[in-house]
Structure 1
């Protein structure tokens, strides 16, 4: 990582010092906006590989669908291991910039460079090109781990106010939706304008790298005046920290639900290009229109979901949004016999559910972290967010992997020409089911995992803070043994 600017102090990994709480009260709008800019980076990286990497491998590099699915899945699965490590390093970092901000800049810039390298294609097409993509994607996922873990850990330390964290997440998700819209809708246009095939993907990689740089630098500068909370003591070992996270029943339930739902969202992202080309028969403008219909509603309904959360609670909001997503995706199975307008409207309904699902899940995560900090008196937000981002990254990789497996099982034919090959009726059916029924089941059924989530505002404010490390909440003791 680059050294911090002169006069700001350099990050170290010395042991944590004292206990304390996140500052209370509302944050300035400048901090809201500055923090939210980081979602340009997370949105671009979370969207474009899931949207274009699988088609890039199957329809440009000529990699078989089953092999391509593994090449997309395995590098991100690596993050399951590296994210908790990145979280522990972030937790134990000390600098005048705070524990997290050095990684926003250093890891963010590395992420941009490595992302562009994924689509550089120095070996042309074939097995060597596929192996290169896998290695480049692995390196990029590692850089993303250090950026994402630090970024997601910040809200629990920026404010101790339950409602303010929801407002902070609303800003973040609004920018995230914009980032997804820009990167997902414009990246295919840049690819096509660059001539398609390998040259077009190279231009697209540079475009997305620029978005990542803008988000990383913007978040770094925009949070320079933000409060960071008082540094608190952390568990002495990674194993001990993971054990603490495992004792947090609400966090376990929320994490498992979000991982499964991320896989469902990712199957839709992975299938956009295939669905537009093979089902809608609109390979030119279809992917962009589908993506706009999926993401644009999020920009409109975000304030509405925030009101739902204030009136009915975050948990109820998450369940409602997930069911809207699932119902819309199931209805989309009728796409082959529906007019195009109806198809796009159903995709918009899915987008409304997606917006709420993201808002509430990401607003509930800081509540889990704050509860743990108040319960134990130890600062380990990085470990929680390391596990969270590891799960999210795995889910986002699992989605394309599952979609690629469906393609392989239904006989999808790969191509190295930059254009999709003619497919059989069975392959087109696989694309349809992978784009509709599969994500509906993943997102809808995952809500059952939330039955064990029980953090409410009253319970959060009623927790003793801090308590001795050897005192275990009886509720959490039951969670361990149940």
Structure 2
């Protein structure tokens, strides 16, 4: 089979199983983004800025791991194709690393930080070994412009569903209030069960996805193998960076996912200390978030069929920035109902849900555009390098828990937020500083993401013309088998 995939609609079973695999990343992302900083800062007792720095340093390691996985995945040749050996092989290491991350031994602070760094790198490397090859399947499964948006919509739906399922289980069971722990998020024992449940969920999602898409292996593009070394990977990356469309999406993604990462990492601080959430209130929050994701699942596909993806992603990101931060700047202005007012929670959940809809719509459209870049690069370089492209895209997504946690650690430090704080006992002035800095940081990154999306250089017409051209071009003679 040639390197250019056929334009086709995927069977529902294939689409569902492929999308379900993203639940593994959703579990990892929700754990890293929502609980990791809180756990190591408020439970273990490591300074927030230091935790953020360690996670940020681990992200630098990812900058080398992700493209290496993409390079090796592109060049893997087996009876199971290029991607599936990696997908199957990642399940067990992810599960082991995830359990270790949430169960650090009693050690000195430097040793605890070393444990966090090593295990974080292990977990994220194992996730890369699954997620980079898995995402690279998107442009290989179909060449259809709209079907790629549908694929990414399914991946985001299941990814968010997996993450929110773990949030709900954490808030209602594993980290629920318990004797001696009115705020269950500070109960260290609960994180052990949370870790085991997450590990099992991730392993299941990965295996279901790999098995469910296994039947597609004979239909996937099988471009001839190229001779080359690992050093060729980084030469290819340099060529990739000359691709304007890819560079635009990388810039947009770094800013968009960093803003999301800040929102994730600071969320439990805001909900627990600013809004006074406890118990079932977190369940209602999770339901409102998932409602927003469900709307985005439908909206992104409809918008992708009828409008310019770059323009729609730009507008959606700006709306997300406005809606997500609005409860906080309205609160600072004295215009938001106070805590305890019956209007507070419904209004907060509504704005949060609408902001989630806009943000996820923007992410889906952006990821769909990344799939379209594969053919643009093939036109320019004569090779398909989905693994390398999606390594870059996946590295960007890791900015959620890398740069996002680092920036949040700085926000907590600058705002003077105390360690092991008790809800209801943090000074109002401290909370005001925290929310003001959050508004500025989140809004700034989201605005930069929107500006980058607006510069994406092509759409449907150019993509379809490119596919027609590639279908008529023979495989270059210099490719070695």
TM range (shorter): 0.7 to 0.9
Q: Give ranges in structure 1 of 5+ residues lacking alignment.
A: 1-17, 471-482
Residue 440 (structure 1) aligned with residue 429 (structure 2): no
Change (3 A) 1:468 1:151: closer
**Counterpart for residue 244 of structure 2:** 249
Indicate yes or no: 2:214 matched with 1:228: no
2:290 equivalent in structure 1: 295
- Deviation track 1:347-390 (CA, whole Å, cap 9, x = no partner) reads 11111112201210111111011222244331211111111111
TM-score (norm 1): 0.88
Structure 2 CA distance for aligned equivalents of residues 210 and 431 of structure 1: 36
Residue 128 of structure 1: how far off its partner (Å): 3.2
d(CA) in 1 for partners of 2:100, 2:449: 35
2:457 corresponds to 1:454: yes
The aligned runs of 1:84-95 (5 Å cut-off) are 84-95=67-78
In the alignment, structure 1 residue 263 sits paired with structure 2 residue 268: no
Pair 1:51-2:46 in alignment:
no
Which moves more between the two structures, 328-337 or 223-232?
Answer: 328-337
The secondary structure found in structure 1 opposite 2:376 is: helix
Deviation at 1:247, TM superposition (A): 2.0
Of the three residues 428, 431, 438, the one matched with 2:434 is 431
Matched, 1:200 2:190: yes
What is the TM-score of this pair, normalised by structure 2?
A: 0.88
- The 1-side partners of 2:454 and 2:315 are apart by 14
Q: Secondary structure at the match of 2:399?
A: helix
Partner Cα distance (1:180, 1:461) in 2: 35
CA distances 1:303-335 after superposition (whole Å, capped 9, x unpaired): 122111111121122112112201102312224
Provide the rounded CA distance (Å) in 1 between the counterparts of 2:29 and 2:214. 25
After TM superposition, which residue ranges in structure 1, 4 or more long, deviate above 6 angstroms?
Answer: 467-470
Q: Deviations over 1:394-415 (max 9, x none)?
A: 3431112111101011111112
Q: 2:322 aligns with which of 327, 330, 352?
A: 327
* Partner in structure 2 of residue 146 of structure 1: 129
Residue number in structure 2 paired with 1:217: 207
How big is the alpha-carbon RMSD for the aligned residues of Structure 1 and Structure 2? 2.4
Q: Deviations over 1:32-76 (max 9, x none)?
A: 111111111111112211100011011101111211221232223
In 1, Cα distance between equivalents of 2:44 and 2:244: 44
> Quick check: 1:40 aligned with 2:23?
yes
1:335, 1:343 within 8 Å by CA — same for their partners in 2? no
Change (3 A) 1:422 1:77: farther
1:62 counterpart residue number = 45
Structure 2 matches for 1:380-399, cutoff 5 A? 380-399=385-404
Matches within 5 A, 1:64-213: 64-123=47-106, 126-193=109-176, 196=184, 197-213=187-203
Contact 1:188/1:288, CA 8 A, preserved across alignment: yes
1:404 aligns with 2:399: no
Task: Give the superposition deviation at 1:433.
Answer: 2.9
Change (3 A) 1:356 1:125: farther
Change in 2 beyond 3 A, CA 1:124/1:342: farther
- Alpha-carbon shift at residue 434 of structure 1 (Å): 4.7
Partner residue of 1:364? Answer: 369
Residue 454 and residue 174 in structure 1: after superposition, are their counterparts in 2 closer, same or farther (change >3 A)?
Answer: same
Which residue in 1 is equivalent to 2:419?
414
> Residue 3 of structure 1 aligns with which residue?
none
Matches within 5 A, 1:330-369: 330-333=325-328, 334-335=330-331, 337-338=336-337, 339-369=344-374
State how far apart, in whole Å, the 2-side matches of 1:433 and 1:468 are: 56
Shift of 1:285: 4.0
Which 5+ residue runs of structure 2 have no aligned equivalent? 179-183, 338-343
Partners of 1:125 and 1:350 lie apart in 2 by: 41
Secondary structure in 2 matching 1:452:
coil
Asked whether the equivalents of residues 60 and 125 of structure 1 are also in contact (C-alpha less than 8 Å), the reply is no
Q: How many aligned positions are there?
A: 452
Q: Measured at CA, do residues 194 and 411 of structure 1 come closer, stay the same or move farther in structure 2, by a change above 3 Å?
A: closer
Alpha carbons 2:91, 2:202 under 8 Å: kept: yes
User: Larger deviation: 312-321 or 144-153?
Assistant: 312-321
Which SS does the other structure have where 1:198 is aligned? Answer: coil
Q: Distance in 2 between matches of 1:443 and 1:32?
A: 30
Of 183-192 and 46-55, deviating more is 183-192
The answer (yes or no) to whether the contact 2:324–2:356 under 8 Å persists in 1 is no
Change (3 A) 1:74 1:96: same
Q: Deviations over 1:412-455 (max 9, x none)?
A: 1112x9x6694333431243235434222211232112343112
Following superposition, the deviation at residue 300 of structure 1 comes to: 3.0
